[in-house]
């Protein structure tokens, strides 16, 4: 396997200690993933897919080597890792994780403000633009408690993309949503991928059907890469599950 | 007993283990609340029990009746009246007759500058030594010497406080001055007496003064020393035990009425035990402890209950799913209710038990510390008080149980469907009021989160602010007490009364009978700057609606050099004749101000009238030999009359003992001073009222204005050698009873303040713990509740420093609100306590800038320290795990 491209993982291992037990969540993972692609990581529960996402997002530790655009994140200290997450990673969580004290616009502004040096006005403009893209311009002043799950996840998607990350990490983004809402969220993600050829999007799911929207499917089993498939993605609107 | 099913028991233990920090904080709050209640209530009750034991052991008089100060009664005459009265009223137990006389001592004391002698004042008490210890009213507890002494004429019993101050023991000799004569008396015993458990010379000399020496000697000896053969001036009565207040009061008023009929109004009103000056002072202290015993536990338990409520509410919220699952599996609502109330019950029971044990141990300490500082005899009663223990347990458990009941009921009301459904929002987001008000739109968005958080769960924010305010109230009260009293005392002695030496005479010294010579002698001593003679008299001041006992200090000039009045209004002015200056405390009590007209009582001295007649006769006899001869002989005659009968010219220290007449007087100024019952006038005003000016305004032309003290200022008060030399020279003058250095007086004031400072320190520690526990609980809960969003913020790239900043700002804001909320109630509470509890003093509420700085920074520091555990937990949390948690 070639180790060229934006993100490379070499012999990545992650072992959890639960009392006397050891759980090998990732076993010698080596991967190379390219910019502009939507990579779907597929696998059953406990296969290590979320752990893979966590180590890529630098919110979990691992052994081995991970390089993102020539930056070896496995060698970074705590401050540099914070900077890495702030500037280079966009996160979409299963449970949306919007900050409840902020409205939709502010949630997006928050991420932009952390990642960039834009003025307050520019931050607002960019946040508004992204909310428009995800179809929530009208609800930009709504607080999370006033939004449906799907709407919240679209705000989360806007928040993740508005900061112009190099890596967009989506962890079961439809896990808590209805099919319709899920499709809308996936469409948003897919559209963003199309717009941004400099972003690598990694979407973790256990849903085989959702894998159809990806350019690449990485199958994990028991912490190991089972297979990597390239495919022609289908639009998210056409999915049904 | 199947109190909880195995599942809930395990869960309970698990939850407690998981929340051990929080549980510990709540546990300590319970301990502090219950502990402070037990400590102070039992300390208070133990002190009362100790007092009761001391009073029972010594047969403390139920009532004391003194003659007016210029009258003595013949013991055998009154004895027959008393026998008759007792026959008709068997409730009258024992009656003793005593003779009280002013005395002075020359004692030496070891200081860091070597041995110094001191002339000190005191009281000689002549008692009938034939009584056995059980028959004697106001008997003794011996610390040294025989319990049944057989004193000869030159031996005495010495009160223990004075003996301890001057390191005097049995068989030591005490140089004593009584009625202008000096005696060397041998100490036969060192004793405590119920009248002087705290040595306070009089209600006007109300600071505890261990340099005031009470000596007890045989009645006949004192009668001999004072030329008052067969006479006495004090009756002490022990009534039968178990007499109701009403019966007691009725029997005493009958006794007093009939006694005054029998002796033609020779007696001043009776002084009941509760108004006896030492007992009165102790009771004031104990009442303070009692008030604190109520207020402090209320504040602490109040904060504890808020903290428990917040914690359990949060626990119920976070365990909605568990509650839902349990309900759907068939656990009854009672199981759930029982489970969540168990938290508060465990807290209440454990906290109360530990608090009670600690309280019992500390209450013994409080009793001992108070008794030690006040110099009580070693009869200290430390008893387990079942009713206090039971009430503490009941209060502790009830408060915690009720605080936990509401969240538990809430848990019980959650339906399984509702509980199993969806996420829980932790307070809704909203624009904060402040943002709207200040239009903070240009503010960095990540820094608006503390403001939003504050308004997110308003009830919790208010509860936290309330808890901080409660702590701040205690701190403000402590600080205001300390500052007001210290500043007041310091200002009084450095600005208002900047004197360095006080010389007290035996009774009075009259202007033309040596006083002017004394002043001339002292003024030429090296180092003396000024000498002001003063007359101090107890009096009663009256307005149309109020009546107040007061000490009148009369100066010989309208502008004394050793006193600077601190005027409170522009219209105030120095003393014109027939005018009075009130101290601000007295003005407040009387409701008077500049321009008010008061009635004041002045003493009559009938002896002076007879002296005037004798002087006139002497003048007439010697006038044929020339005016100068007549004058000299008359002065000699008057001098001889007075020195032989000095006791007949001295006033009692309290107004009860003085037969007063009334005159109107105008208030021309109000001076802000620490004394709560002092007024100033001129000697001329008093002598005119008393009719003493007849000597001056007759052909005799003798100024017999009486003075009781000389107030001295020296040029270099820090030079102890000069001060000692001045004292030595003055002590060679006649009729000097005591000489007190200004700094000696301040030392005794400071000593009194030591006990007070200990209490203030304890208060401050309590307040700090309270503030710390309150903020720790809230931060901890807030943190747990917001763990996922904190993790999200950190995942999105918020740095640890920014995270710290956000949390700190929120807490600092709550703290500032708490401090602001606690200041005004604290100041009002301090003012209320200072004006109600310390009636004999007046202290304007002052909080110094240093105290404000310490208060603000201290509380903020506590808050910053209290948030450390939560912040450490925050920056160390597992972001991967916490960002994926379903609910909070």
Asked whether residue A2 is assigned to any structural domain, the reply reads no
Name the β-bridge partners of B664.
Answer: B599
Does the CA dihedral B489-B492-B494-B500 come out positive or negative? negative
Distance from the A188 Cα atom to the nearest Cα atom in chain B, whole angstroms: 20
pLDDT tens track for A54-96 = 999 999 999 999 999 889 999 999 999 999 999 999 999 988 8
Residue that wins the pLDDT comparison between B73 and B2 = B73
Contacts of B268 (CB under 8 A, 6+ apart): B65, B66, B67, B68, B652, B656, B657, B658, B659
**CA separation for the pair B268, B766 (Å, rounded):** 47
| Helices B386-413, B20-58: inter-axial angle, 10-degree rounding | 160
**Structure letter (DSSP) for residue B205:** B
Q: Does residue B179 carry a pLDDT above 60? A: yes
Q: Which of A23, A58, A73, A97 to mutate to test the interface with B (most CBs of B within 10 A)?
A: A97
Q: Does residue B228 carry a pLDDT above 60? A: yes
Which of A79, A99, A103 comes nearest B793 by C-beta?
A99
Q: In this structure, are residues B183 and B230 in contact, taking their beta carbons and an 8 Å threshold?
A: no
Cα nearest neighbour of B876 on chain A: A78
**Residues of chain B positioned with their CB less than 8 A from the CB of A167:** none
pLDDT tens track for B443-486 = 677 778 888 888 887 877 888 888 888 888 888 988 898 888 88
A114 in contact with B, Cβ within 8 Å: yes
Contacts of B427 (CB under 8 A, 6+ apart): A100, A101, B456, B457
Please judge whether A94 and B880 are an interchain contact, meaning their C-beta atoms are less than 8 angstroms apart.
no
* Confidence class for position B427, pLDDT limits 50, 70, 90: low
pLDDT for A4 equals: 45
* Confidence class for position B659, pLDDT limits 50, 70, 90: low
Q: In this structure, are residues B405 and B336 in contact, taking their beta carbons and an 8 Å threshold?
A: no
Separation in Å, CA A227 to CA A46, A221, A232, B110: 17, 9, 16, 98
Q: Which run of H or E residues covers position B313?
A: helix B277-318
pLDDT for B49 equals: 85
pLDDT for B442 equals: 58
Q: What three-state secondary structure class fits B710?
A: strand
Q: Which of A45, A50, A101 to mutate to test the interface with B (most CBs of B within 10 A)?
A: A101
Asked whether residue A45 is assigned to any structural domain, the reply reads yes
> What number of CA atoms fall less than 13 Å from residue B675's CA on the CB side?
25
pLDDT for A1 equals: 41
Residue that wins the pLDDT comparison between B805 and B332 = B805
By C-alpha distance, which of B737, B797, B265, B207 is closest to A159? B797
Q: Does residue B886 carry a pLDDT above 80? A: no
B884 in contact with A, Cβ within 8 Å: yes
Most confident of B88-97, B144-153, B199-208: B88-97
B713 in contact with A, Cβ within 8 Å: no
Average pLDDT of the residues in A206-224? 92
**CA separation for the pair B473, B827 (Å, rounded):** 8
B880 in contact with A, Cβ within 8 Å: yes
Q: Which of B421, B424, B429 to mutate to test the interface with A (most CBs of A within 10 A)?
A: B429
pLDDT for B451 equals: 81
Q: Does residue A187 carry a pLDDT above 80? A: yes
Secondary structure, 3-state, chain A? CCCCCCEEEEEEEEEEEECCEEEEEEEEEEEEECCCCEEEEECCCCCCHHHHHHHHCCCCCCEEEEEECCEEHHHCCHHHHHHHHHHHEEEECCCCCCCCCCCHHHHHHHHHHHHCCCCHHHHHHHHHHHHHHCCCHHHCCCCHHHCCHHHHHHHHHHHHHHCCCCEEEEECCCCCCCHHHHHHHHHHHHHHHHHCCCCEEEEEECCCCHHHHCCEEEEEECCEEEEEEECCCCCHHHCCC
Distance from the B888 Cα atom to the nearest Cα atom in chain A, whole angstroms: 11
A17 in contact with B, Cβ within 8 Å: no
pLDDT for A84 equals: 94
**CA separation for the pair B303, B774 (Å, rounded):** 7
Which of A65-74, B12-21, B358-367 shows the lowest mean pLDDT across its residues? B12-21
B876 in contact with A, Cβ within 8 Å: no
**CA separation for the pair A20, A15 (Å, rounded):** 12
* Confidence class for position B646, pLDDT limits 50, 70, 90: low
Which of A55-69, B212-226, B519-533, B761-775 shows the lowest mean pLDDT across its residues? B761-775
Into how many domains does chain A fold? 1
pLDDT for B433 equals: 67
Overall size of chain B counted in residues? 888
Q: Which of B432, B433, B795 to mutate to test the interface with A (most CBs of A within 10 A)?
A: B795
Residue that wins the pLDDT comparison between B581 and B44 = B581
Overall size of chain A counted in residues? 241
By C-alpha distance, which of B50, B68, B4 is closest to B650? B68
Please judge whether A100 and B446 are an interchain contact, meaning their C-beta atoms are less than 8 angstroms apart.
no
Residue with tokens 């700090």: B768
Residue with tokens 């690598």: A200
Please judge whether A143 and B428 are an interchain contact, meaning their C-beta atoms are less than 8 angstroms apart.
yes
What is the CATH number for A32?
Answer: 3.40.50.300
pLDDT tens track for B571-583 = 767 667 778 999 9
* Confidence class for position B662, pLDDT limits 50, 70, 90: confident
* Confidence class for position A159, pLDDT limits 50, 70, 90: very high
By C-alpha distance, which of B118, B200, B205 is closest to B159? B200
User: Residue B868: how many CB atoms within 10 A of its CB?
Assistant: 12
Which of B442, B792, B798 comes nearest A120 by C-beta?
B442
Q: By percentage, how much of chain B surpasses pLDDT 70?
A: 88
Secondary structure, 3-state, B414-482? CCHHHHHCCCCCCCCCCCCHHHHHHCCCCCCHHHCHHHHHHCCCHHHHHHHHHHHHHHHHHHHHHHHHH
pLDDT for B765 equals: 79
Cα nearest neighbour of B792 on chain A: A97
Distance from the B4 Cα atom to the nearest Cα atom in chain A, whole angstroms: 29
Please judge whether B788 and A97 are an interchain contact, meaning their C-beta atoms are less than 8 angstroms apart.
yes
Residue that wins the pLDDT comparison between A52 and B615 = A52
**How far is it between the farthest Cα atoms of chain A?**
54
Distance from the A232 Cα atom to the nearest Cα atom in chain B, whole angstroms: 31
Residue that wins the pLDDT comparison between B726 and A2 = B726
Which of A163-177, B753-767, B778-792, B821-835 shows the lowest mean pLDDT across its residues? B753-767
- Strands B173-178 and B181-192, how do they pair? antiparallel
Q: A–B: how many Cβ contacts below 8 A?
A: 98
Separation in Å, CA B244 to CA B248, B275, B766: 6, 17, 41
Secondary structure, 3-state, B860-873? HHHHHHHCHHHHHH
A61 in contact with B, Cβ within 8 Å: no
DSSP one-letter string for B80-99: HHHHHHHHH-TTEEEEEEEE
Average pLDDT of the residues in B318-334? 74
pLDDT tens track for B434-453 = 676 666 565 677 778 888 88
Asked whether residue A1 is assigned to any structural domain, the reply reads no
**Residues of chain B positioned with their CB less than 8 A from the CB of A85:** 795-797
B426 in contact with A, Cβ within 8 Å: yes
pLDDT for B874 equals: 86
DSSP one-letter string for B5-48: -HHHHHHHHHHHHHTHHHHHHHHHHHHHHHHHHHHHHHHHHHHH
Q: Does residue B645 carry a pLDDT above 70? A: no
pLDDT tens track for B385-424 = 888 899 999 988 998 888 888 888 877 777 666 666 544 5
> What is the pLDDT of chain B when averaged over all its residues?
82
Please judge whether A97 and B883 are an interchain contact, meaning their C-beta atoms are less than 8 angstroms apart.
yes
Query: Could you give phi then psi for residue B607, rounded to 5 degrees?
Result: -55, -35
Give domain limits for chain B. 1-56+286-422, 62-275, 428-496+743-888, 501-716
Q: Does residue B524 carry a pLDDT above 90? A: yes
pLDDT for B652 equals: 47
**CA separation for the pair B225, B325 (Å, rounded):** 95
Q: What three-state secondary structure class fits B670?
A: strand
Does the CA dihedral B836-B842-B846-B848 come out positive or negative? negative
Please judge whether A101 and B445 are an interchain contact, meaning their C-beta atoms are less than 8 angstroms apart.
no
A50 in contact with B, Cβ within 8 Å: yes
Q: Which of B424, B880, B887 to mutate to test the interface with A (most CBs of A within 10 A)?
A: B880
**CA separation for the pair B48, A126 (Å, rounded):** 76
B458 in contact with A, Cβ within 8 Å: no
Name the β-bridge partners of A229.
Answer: A217
Which of B429, B446, B879 comes nearest A143 by C-beta?
B429
A142 in contact with B, Cβ within 8 Å: no
Which of A115-124, A175-184, B128-137, B847-856 shows the lowest mean pLDDT across its residues? B128-137
Average pLDDT of the residues in B872-885? 86
Which of B92-96, B519-523, B602-606, B827-831 shows the lowest mean pLDDT across its residues? B602-606
Q: In this structure, are residues B18 and B352 in contact, taking their beta carbons and an 8 Å threshold?
A: no
**Residues of chain B positioned with their CB less than 8 A from the CB of A54:** 880
Q: For residues A84-122, b (16+ Cβ closer than 10 Å) or e, as one string?
A: bbbebbbbbbbbbbbbbbbbbbbbbbbbbbbbbeeeeee
Write out the residue range of the structural domain in which residue A198 sits: 7-238
pLDDT for B1 equals: 40
Cα nearest neighbour of B799 on chain A: A82
Q: Does residue B428 carry a pLDDT above 80? A: no
Asked whether residue A63 is assigned to any structural domain, the reply reads yes
Please judge whether A101 and B453 are an interchain contact, meaning their C-beta atoms are less than 8 angstroms apart.
yes
By C-alpha distance, which of A211, A178, A213 is closest to A192? A213
Retrieve residue B156's tokens.
Answer: 């005495």
**CA separation for the pair B506, B513 (Å, rounded):** 13
Radius of gyration of chain B from its Cα atoms, rounded to whole angstroms: 35
Please judge whether B798 and A114 are an interchain contact, meaning their C-beta atoms are less than 8 angstroms apart.
yes
Query: Could you give phi then psi for residue B680, rounded to 5 degrees?
Result: -120, 145
Q: In this structure, are residues B237 and B92 in contact, taking their beta carbons and an 8 Å threshold?
A: yes
**Residues of chain A positioned with their CB less than 8 A from the CB of B801:** none
* Confidence class for position B156, pLDDT limits 50, 70, 90: very high
Please judge whether B797 and A82 are an interchain contact, meaning their C-beta atoms are less than 8 angstroms apart.
yes
Q: By percentage, how much of chain A surpasses pLDDT 90?
A: 66
Q: Does residue B4 carry a pLDDT above 70? A: no
Residues 148-187 of A with CB under 8 A from B: 159, 171
**CA separation for the pair B560, B558 (Å, rounded):** 6
Which of B426, B429, B878 comes nearest A103 by C-beta?
B429
């Amino acid at each position: 396997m070639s180790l060229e491209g934006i993100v490379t993982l070499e012999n990545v291992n992650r072992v959890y200690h639960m009392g006397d037990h050891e759980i090998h969540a990732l076993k010698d993972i080596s991967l190379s993933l390219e910019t502009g692609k939507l990579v779907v990581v597929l696998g059953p529960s406990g296969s290590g897919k979320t752990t893979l996402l966590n180590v890529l997002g630098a919110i979990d530790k691992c052994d081995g080597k991970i390089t993102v655009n020539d930056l070896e994140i496995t060698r970074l200290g705590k401050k540099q890792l914070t900077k890495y997450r702030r500037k280079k990673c966009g996160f979409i969580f299963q449970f949306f994780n919007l900050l409840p004290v902020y409205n939709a616009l502010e949630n997006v502004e928050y991420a932009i403000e952390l990642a960039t040096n834009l003025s307050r006005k520019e931050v607002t403009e960019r946040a508004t633009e992204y909310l428009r893209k995800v179809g929530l311009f009208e609800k930009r002043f709504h607080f999370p408690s006033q939004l449906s799950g799907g709407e919240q996840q679209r705000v989360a998607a806007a928040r993740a993309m508005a900061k112009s990350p190099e890596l967009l990490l989506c962890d079961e983004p439809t896990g808590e949503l209805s099919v319709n809402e899920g499709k809308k969220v996936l469409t948003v993600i897919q559209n963003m991928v199309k717009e941004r050829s400099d972003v690598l999007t990694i979407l973790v799911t256990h849903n085989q059907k959702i894998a159809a929207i990806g350019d690449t499917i990485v199958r994990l089993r028991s912490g190991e890469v089972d297979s990597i498939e390239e495919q022609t993605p289908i639009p998210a609107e056409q999915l049904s599950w | 007993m199947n109190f909880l099913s195995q599942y809930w028991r395990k869960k309970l233990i698990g939850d407690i283990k998981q929340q051990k920090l929080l549980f510990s904080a709540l546990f300590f709050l319970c301990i502090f609340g219950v502990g402070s209640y037990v400590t102070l209530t039992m300390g208070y009750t133990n002190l009362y029990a100790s007092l009761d034991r001391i009073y029972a052991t010594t047969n403390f008089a139920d009532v004391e009746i003194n003659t007016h100060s210029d009258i003595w009664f013949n013991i055998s005459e009154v004895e027959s009246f008393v026998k008759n009265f007792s026959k008709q009223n068997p409730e009258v137990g024992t009656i003793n007759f005593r003779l009280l006389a002013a005395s002075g001592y020359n004692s030496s004391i070891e200081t860091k500058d070597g041995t110094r002698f001191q002339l000190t004042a005191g009281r000689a008490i002549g008692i009938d030594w034939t009584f056995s210890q059980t028959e004697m009213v106001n008997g003794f507890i011996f610390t040294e010497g025989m319990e049944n002494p057989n004193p000869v004429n030159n031996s005495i019993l010495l009160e223990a406080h004075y003996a301890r101050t001057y390191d005097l023991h049995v068989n030591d000799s005490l140089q004593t001055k009584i009625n202008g004569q000096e005696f060397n008396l041998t100490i036969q015993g060192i004793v405590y007496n119920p009248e002087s458990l705290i040595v306070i010379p009089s209600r006007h000399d109300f600071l505890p003064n261990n340099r005031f020496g009470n000596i007890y000697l045989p009645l006949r000896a004192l009668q001999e020393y004072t030329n008052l053969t067969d006479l006495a001036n004090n009756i002490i009565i022990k009534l039968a035990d178990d007499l109701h207040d009403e019966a007691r009061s009725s029997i005493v008023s009958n006794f007093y009425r009939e006694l005054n009929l029998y002796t033609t109004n020779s007696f001043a009103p009776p002084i009941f035990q509760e108004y006896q000056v030492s007992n009165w002072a102790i009771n004031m202290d104990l009442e303070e402890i009692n008030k604190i015993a109520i207020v402090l536990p209320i504040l602490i338990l109040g904060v504890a209950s808020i903290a428990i409520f917040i914690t359990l509410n949060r626990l119920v919220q976070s365990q909605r799913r568990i509650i839902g699952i349990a309900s759907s599996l068939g656990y009854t609502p009672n199981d759930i209710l029982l489970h969540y109330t168990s938290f508060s019950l465990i807290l209440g029971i454990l906290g109360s038990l530990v608090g009670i044990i600690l309280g019992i141990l500390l209450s013994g300490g409080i009793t001992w510390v108070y008794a030690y500082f006040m110099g009580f005899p070693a009869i200290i009663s430390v008893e387990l008080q079942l009713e206090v223990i039971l009430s503490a347990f009941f209060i502790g458990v009830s408060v915690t149980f009720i605080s936990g009941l509401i969240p538990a009921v809430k848990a019980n009301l959650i339906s399984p469907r509702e509980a199993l459904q969806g996420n829980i929002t932790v307070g809704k987001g909203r624009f904060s009021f402040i943002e709207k008000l200040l239009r903070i739109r240009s503010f960095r968005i990540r820094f608006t989160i503390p403001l939003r958080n504050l308004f997110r769960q308003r009830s919790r924010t208010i509860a936290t602010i309330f808890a901080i305010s409660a702590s701040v109230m205690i701190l403000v009260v402590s600080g205001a007490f300390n500052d007001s009293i210290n500043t007041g005392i310091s200002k009084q002695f450095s600005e208002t009364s900047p004197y360095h030496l006080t010389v007290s005479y035996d009774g009075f010294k009259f202007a033309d009978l040596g006083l002017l010579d004394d002043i001339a002698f002292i003024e030429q001593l090296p180092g003396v700057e000024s000498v002001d003679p003063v007359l101090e008299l107890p009096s009663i001041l009256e307005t149309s609606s109020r009546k107040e006992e007061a000490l009148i200090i009369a100066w010989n000039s309208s502008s004394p050099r050793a006193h600077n009045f601190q005027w409170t209004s522009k219209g105030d002015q120095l003393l014109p004749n027939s005018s009075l200056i009130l101290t601000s405390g007295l003005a407040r009590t009387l409701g008077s101000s500049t321009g008010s007209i008061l009635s004041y009582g002045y003493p009559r001295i009938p002896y002076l009238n007879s002296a005037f007649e004798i002087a006139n006769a002497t003048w007439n006899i010697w006038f044929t030999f020339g005016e100068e001869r007549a004058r000299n002989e008359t002065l000699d005659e008057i001098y001889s009359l007075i020195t032989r009968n000095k006791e007949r010219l001295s006033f009692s220290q309290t107004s009860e003992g003085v037969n007063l007449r009334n005159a109107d007087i105008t208030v021309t100024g109000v001076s802000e001073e620490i004394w709560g019952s002092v007024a100033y006038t001129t000697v001329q005003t008093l002598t005119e009222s008393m009719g003493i000016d007849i000597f001056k305004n007759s052909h005799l032309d003798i100024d017999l204005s009486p003075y009781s003290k000389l107030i001295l200022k020296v040029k270099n008060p820090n030079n102890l050698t000069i001060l000692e030399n001045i004292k030595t020279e003055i002590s060679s003058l006649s009729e000097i009873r005591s000489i007190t250095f200004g700094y000696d007086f301040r030392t005794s004031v400071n000593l009194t303040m030591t006990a007070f400072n200990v209490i203030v320190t304890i208060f401050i520690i309590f307040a700090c713990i309270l503030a710390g526990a309150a903020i720790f609980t809230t931060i901890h809960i807030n943190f747990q509740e917001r763990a996922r969003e904190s993790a999200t913020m950190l995942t999105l790239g918020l740095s640890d420093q920014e995270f710290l900043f956000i949390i700190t700002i929120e807490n600092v804001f709550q703290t500032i609100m708490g401090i602001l909320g606690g200041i005004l109630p604290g100041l009002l509470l301090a003012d209320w306590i200072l004006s109600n509890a310390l009636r004999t003093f007046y202290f304007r509420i002052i909080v110094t800038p240093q105290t404000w700085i310490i208060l603000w920074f201290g509380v903020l520091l506590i808050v910053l320290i209290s948030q450390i555990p939560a912040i450490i937990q925050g920056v160390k949390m597992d972001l991967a795990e916490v960002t994926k948690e379903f609910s909070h």
